[in-house]
Amino acid sequence: MLLTYNPSVSPFREDYSESRRLHFYDRGENIPLVVDGVWQVYRGMAQLSQVSESGEEILLGWVHSSQFFGLNLTHLESYHARALSELYLKWYTIAEVENSAELTRMMLNQMIRRQQQTESLLAIAGLKRVEERLQQLLQLLKREMGEPIAQGSRLKIRLTHQNLANAIATTRVTVTRLLGEFQRQGWVSIDGDRHLIIHD
């Protein structure tokens, strides 16, 4: 869905980020991926994943404000992107990126951040105990999508137990049990909007 576009404003001016047309995707919607360009997140968050031959979803990471994603930035097959919240995206062709020093610089900075996120997910996947994997995942989520509140950090995005289970290769039942234990220990809690709070 297109929201705004001003053709009289060049996308390469200093204020180009406000001149692009915005594409809206609702929470849970799949985002179309094509090879002749890239998406940049304007507002909201998307989850990147790969679907295995057995139909299992393998988490690849998350993208949010200013970050880029698209088929041109991966060699993986069955690459998918899904909105985790109300999501506003901007579309750039490959030619636009190649001809803009500002866009190229922004993409490089954001890809470095995505690489750091991917390394963190790989380190979590290497842990043998599922409890440790969930603990470390929550710490990563705190860094990636946490907002400070009095009790600690509240995750901006509401994640399901299945989302968390997919991220650490376990079952939803196991995640539910472990989160219950973490709550009893006072390490996490759930607010009225079902957002996870990670206590300091």
How do residues 38-89 score in pLDDT, each as one tens digit? 999 999 999 999 987 887 788 899 999 899 999 988 888 788 999 999 999 9
Q: Which fold has domain 130-199?
A: Arc Repressor Mutant, subunit A (1.10.10)
Q: 3: pLDDT confidence band, cut at 50, 70 and 90?
A: very low
What mean pLDDT, rounded, does the chain reach? Answer: 87
Which pLDDT score, from 0 to 100, does residue 184 have?
95
Domain boundary assignment for the chain: 16-125, 130-199
**Segment 31-43 mean pLDDT:** 93
- Could you report the per-residue pLDDT of 81-105, keeping only the tens digit for each? 999 999 999 999 999 999 999 999 9
Place of tokens 């957002």: 195
- Percent of the chain clearing pLDDT 70 (strictly above): 90
Q: How far apart are CA 109 and CA 111, in angstroms?
A: 6
String of DSSP letters for 153-191 = EEESS---HHHHHHHTTS-HHHHHHHHHHHHHTTSEEE-
Residues facing 39 on adjacent strands: 69, 91
- Percent of the chain clearing pLDDT 90 (strictly above): 70
Which pLDDT score, from 0 to 100, does residue 75 have?
86
Q: What is the number of helices (H) and of strands (E) in the chain?
A: 6, 11
Across the chain, which distance is largest between two alpha carbons, in Å? 58
- Contact (CB, 8 A) for 73 and 129: no
Q: 9: pLDDT confidence band, cut at 50, 70 and 90?
A: very low
Residue 127 has pLDDT above 80, yes or no: yes
**Segment 181-190 mean pLDDT:** 94
Q: 180: pLDDT confidence band, cut at 50, 70 and 90?
A: very high
Q: 148: pLDDT confidence band, cut at 50, 70 and 90?
A: very high
- Contact (CB, 8 A) for 106 and 67: no
Q: Which fold has domain 16-125?
A: Jelly Rolls (2.60.120)
